[in-house]
Chains A and B, each alone.
Chain A
Amino acid sequence: MIANGREIKVGAGTTLQEFLVSSGYDPRNVAVELNGRISPRNAFNDVILKNTDSLEIVSFVGGG
């Protein structure tokens, strides 16, 4: 799988939620595009990642 331009292997059955947490992201603070489509936040637990996927993750920091 490609995540933010880097090639990463994901284990079978890994959910998007699990991947985000294990990669150090706080899922409440991110937006994710999976294969060019925005991934709804309420579906992070339902999305099973595949090694052919392409993932873009942006994490927001405070201040406005």
Chain B
Amino acid sequence: MLTIDNLCASVEDKSILNGLSLEVNAGEVHAVMGPNGSGKSTLANVLAGRDQYEVTSGTVTYKDQNLLELEPEIRAREGLFLAFQYPVEIPGVSNVHMLKAALNAMRTHQGKKELDAVSFLKLIKEKAELVGMKQEFLYRAVNEGFSGGEKKRNEVLQMSLFEPTLSVLDETDSGLDIDALKIVAHGMNSLRSPDRAMLVVTHYQRLLDYIEPDFVHVLAHGKIIHSGGKELAEELEEHGYGWIEEHACTV
């Protein structure tokens, strides 16, 4: 589904990703872990197509297309979803209005009929219940005045509404208390299926207690230095990233 080959990217002429390669297949959940500054968020943003990140070399193939050539909105409509580390507040644009415009843009792109207001409201209310979001948040401006947890919940609401093929979750667990974390994880788990995949970018292991990854990758200095199964996350938690970096150097 997703093939990243020798990807190099920079921000403001500072090189962040230095030859990252990764293969994600349908049905798989991959966790990308690493210390601060290792390039985790850069990877997530490059995949979503944020302007400020410049790809200097390498390729990314998503569903047999050159992902890097697609506009961000086309990537989204093709089923790639980025759950933001810092969801943006948009005063004046109601959440429900944005969600409807987004869902219908995706449906149109996928050759499906747009949902009318009634069917949409029915659907969004179901989804809000699933992620434990109070209905009032649907009618407030997008993320405006939401607490950290509410913002993340709103990201997971969108994920369950759009049902993306590939979800990229950028530190979705940061800033969540344990109850919110469980709800968020529940929302994510309910989307696991043989034809979908997830890339979970996280600093800590605790989210992985609730979302069991098939593969864990350690990112340092802009490349993957070690890959393993879910037990790798536990080892990292125990020994820290320093251990794996030393370990990697000796390999």
Real binding pair: no
- Interfacial residues, chain B to chain A (CB-CB below 8 A): none
